[in-house]
Amino acid sequence: MNNKEIIAEGQEYVMNTYGRLPIALVEGKGSYVWDADGKRYLDFVAGIAVNALGHCHPAVVEAISEQAHKLIHCSNLYWIEPQVKLAKMLVEHSCFDKAFFCNSGAEANEAAFKLARKYAKAQGYTNRYEVISTANSFHGRTLATLNATGQEKVHHNFEPLLDGFKSVPYNDLAAIEDAISDKTCAIIVEPIQGEGGVIVAHAGYLAGLRHLCDEHDLLLIFDEVQVGCGRTGKLFAYQNSGVKPDVMTLAKALAGGVAIGAMLVNQRADVFVPGEHASTFGGNPLATAAAVAAINQMLVEDIPEGVTLKSEYFICKLQQLVDKYDSLLSVRGQGLLLGLVANKPAGAVVEACQGKGLLINCTAGSVLRFVPPLTVSNDEIDEAVAILDQALQECGF
């Protein structure tokens, strides 16, 4: 089937929940993907920060193939060897003590919300159930996680909002402190807001949240679904700040492209007992085997360290565009989660880039977001910036 045929059948049979570009991707290798008509694209969306090792990394492909020939799924009523290996790997390279596995970032955040309520009960607080989040955050689209998400467009048509969530401005410690009440059980925050427009936490903000949580006996939850697994130049984003949360949620890049989610907890937050939370497919042999291979590859090749060097190079190139175009305001972000901030809507630039063989996306209406594979080369960055330059000029920036 070609692009036109796939799109026509998709419009007939697939629910209309995405504003899709008019291409159907059928193959990928490294930093490139090909559509059904054979056109090649340089992929700086990478499945929205999922394909951190590039498309179809040999180590991940081999792990999936090998595991698929042995055991694809079994219930969590039994111990699962690759799940245990992955949990050990994540714990030994972080500040956490235990791991729970599910299938997505939204599921991981759902688990964290339940855990926060259970923690409060375990500490003897009978009326603590509220979670404080931040404006412009994104924590998922399930009924609970959309309530934690600080974006009205995500809430629209799904009101009334659930009780138990409160949103305050990001990077505002005073607002968080004012929001804490005798009902609060946790604070959830992204070290960098990806969907919110690539907004980085100010110096001292995360440390301030840690202090407030310690002072009020609350759990501090870091949502690292988009920023974890090497994207910021450390294996986990919290390591850039030195602030240790009680709970961290992961997904996206964890298994090199296979669906997975994880919640990591320290000893303080390890309060679930059998029967209180579960996931049928969570941590299944196939997904965790892929994740073991993906994380091992990051550690063996020290990919996070390379991210820092590539980030500096990429930021320099993007800054040159800011200096060139009046409609561009700044470059922001960290590692290989970068945003090019415009003073007007930038969706047309995404479409222009796609036509020229570069895939990017736009968030918060006017921020062009770049989340390429962490294995991207400087030559590929140059290629992307050259196409972006042409698109900006074509779109009148």
* Count of C-beta atoms within a 10 Å radius of residue 314: 25
Q: What is the DSSP letter of 255?
A: G
pLDDT score, position 217: 98
State the Cα–Cα distance between residues 210 and 201, nearest whole angstrom. 13
Q: Which run of H or E residues covers position 14?
A: none
Nearest to 131 by CA among 109, 106, 151: 109
* Residue spans of alpha helices (H) in the chain: 3-13, 46-49, 58-68, 81-92, 105-122, 143-148, 152-155, 173-179, 205-216, 238-241, 285-300, 303-324, 347-355, 378-394
Cβ–Cβ < 8 Å for 183, 127: yes
Instruction: Check whether residue 180 and residue 98 sit in a common domain.
Output: yes
Give the pLDDT score at 80.
98
pLDDT for the residue 16: 96
For the chain, the domain total comes to 2
Quick count: other Cβ atoms within 10 Å of Cβ 14? 11
Residue of 315, 392, 390, 369 lying closest to 44 (CA atoms):
369
Q: Give the residue from 253, 272, 300 where a domain finishes.
A: 300
Catalytic: which of 96, 118, 166, 223?
223
The verdict on 382 and 269 lying in the same domain is no
- Is 252 noted as a catalytic residue in this protein? yes
Local structure of residue 138 (DSSP, 8 states): -
Integer Cα distance of 336 and 307 in angstroms: 6
Asked if residues 250 and 224 have their Cβ atoms less than 8 Å apart, the reply is yes
CATH number for the domain that contains residue 44: 3.90.1150.10
CA–CA gap between residue 271 and residue 264 (Å, rounded): 12
Nearest to 109 by CA among 60, 73, 143, 160: 143
Tell me, yes or no, if 223 is annotated catalytic: yes
> In degrees rounded to 5, what are phi and psi of residue 98?
-145, 160
What's the CATH number where 162 sits?
Answer: 3.40.640.10
The amino acid present at 1, given as its one-letter code, is M
- pLDDT means per 10 residues in the chain (397 residues)? 97 96 97 98 98 98 98 98 98 98 98 98 97 97 96 94 96 98 98 96 97 98 98 98 97 98 98 97 98 98 96 98 97 98 97 98 97 98 98 97
Tokens of 241: 């700040």
Residue ending a domain, choose from 271, 300, 329? 300
End-to-end CA distance of the chain: 37
Instruction: Check residue 301 and give its pLDDT.
Output: 94
Do residues 295 and 318 both lie within one domain? Answer: no
Decide if 138 is catalytic.
yes
Residues 156, 293: Cα–Cα separation, whole Å:
40
Does 80 share its domain with 50? Answer: no
Spatial distance between the Cα atoms of 335 and 332, rounded to a whole number of angstroms: 10
Are 271 and 236 in contact by the 8 Å Cβ rule? The answer is no
Closest by Cα among 147, 208, 218 to 184: 218
CA-wise closest residue to 256 among 303, 191, 197, 223: 303
- Catalytic residue, chosen from 138, 165, 272, 370, is 138
Distances in Å between the alpha carbon of 256 and those of 4, 30, 196? 29, 12, 24
Q: Please, which residues bridge with residue 99 across strands?
A: 264
Return the pLDDT at 383: 98
Based on the domain organization, do 295 and 348 belong to the same domain? no
Do 180 and 100 reside in the same domain of the chain? yes
CB atoms within 10 A of CB 19: 6
Answer for the pair 254, 269: CB distance below 8 angstroms, yes or no: no
Give the total residue count for the chain.
Answer: 397
Q: Are residues 310 and 214 in the same domain?
A: no
**Within this chain, do residues 53 and 65 fall inside the same structural domain, yes or no?**
no
Predicted structure pTM score? 0.96
At residue 167, the 3 state secondary structure works out as strand
Are residues 34 and 129 both part of a single domain?
no
| Angstrom distance (rounded) from CA 352 to CA 343 | 18
Last residue of some domain: 276, 300, 324? 300
Q: Are 397 and 341 in contact (CB under 8 A)?
A: no
Q: What is the pLDDT of residue 342?
A: 98
The verdict on 41 and 94 lying in the same domain is no
Domain around 313? 3-57+303-394
From the candidates 118, 234, 252, 310, give the one annotated as an active-site residue.
Answer: 252
Rounded to whole angstroms, the maximal C-alpha distance in the chain is: 62
Asked whether residue 190 falls in the same domain as residue 244, the answer is: yes
Q: Identify whether residues 120 and 261 lie together within a single domain.
A: yes
> Which residue in 132, 121, 224 sits closest to 178, CA to CA?
132
